[in-house]
Amino acid sequence: MSSAVYSTLARQQGLMHEMQVVANNLANSSTTGYKSDRAIFTEFLVSTGNGADQSLSMGALGGHAFQMEQGGLNFTGGRFDLAIQGEGFFMVDTPQGERLTRAGHFQLSAEGQLVDMQGNPVLNAGGNPINIPQDALDVTIGADGTISGNGQIIDQVGIMVADGELQRDSNTYFSTDGEVAPTQDAKLLQGALEQSNVSTVLEVSRMIEVHRAYEAGQALLEKEDQRISQLITAVRER
């Protein structure tokens, strides 16, 4: 197989990964707390076997970069709908471990525990579940996350920051390989949800660009296949 075919196939595979990322962004353009994703590609050299100085430049998916810009606010009036203004995440306790999220659509479980839409407990600044008494009236949540009811402080929603690299575990859950600590720099807004920060116009434009690039690569592969076939036929006819 020629070097042109190898390099083009690697490019086609990269474009497929990029298309998957763009499609996922578009599918989550209305998902609360979703952060737009970008594929990052790395270059490496592969020996062609034609000498020490002969190599071929190849590319592969190296990772993901998440656009963490603040999304717009959707004012719902929900008592346990929370939006973070500034840097930081809510922390929830999932079956896979503690995860970070910007999706603040919370509710109370039958046991009075503050949970997300998947039923995972929301954690306070100390990393413990938040329990709200059943008889608590006029529950309010302050800008610092302090939960009050019946004129008494009940608990405080944790707003956490991570100093390590983020990895997406699901559409709105992130994990990190670094330390996580509470922050006082962000504020909570009760009765609102942060919308996705995906720009559908940019994503559709990117999808068209990737599709055209993939078609161009496919045409090149077809031409290269024809060239090789013609060469083989010419050699046989000699």
Q: What is the pLDDT of residue 196?
A: 96
- Domain definitions of the chain by residue range: 3-68+198-236, 73-194
Share of the chain above pLDDT 90, in %: 58
- Whole-model pTM: value is 0.79
Share of the chain above pLDDT 70, in %: 86
Give pLDDT tens digits for 78-93: 999 999 999 999 999 9
Q: Does residue 194 have a pLDDT over 80?
A: yes
Candidates 220, 223, 224, 226; CA nearest to 15 is 220
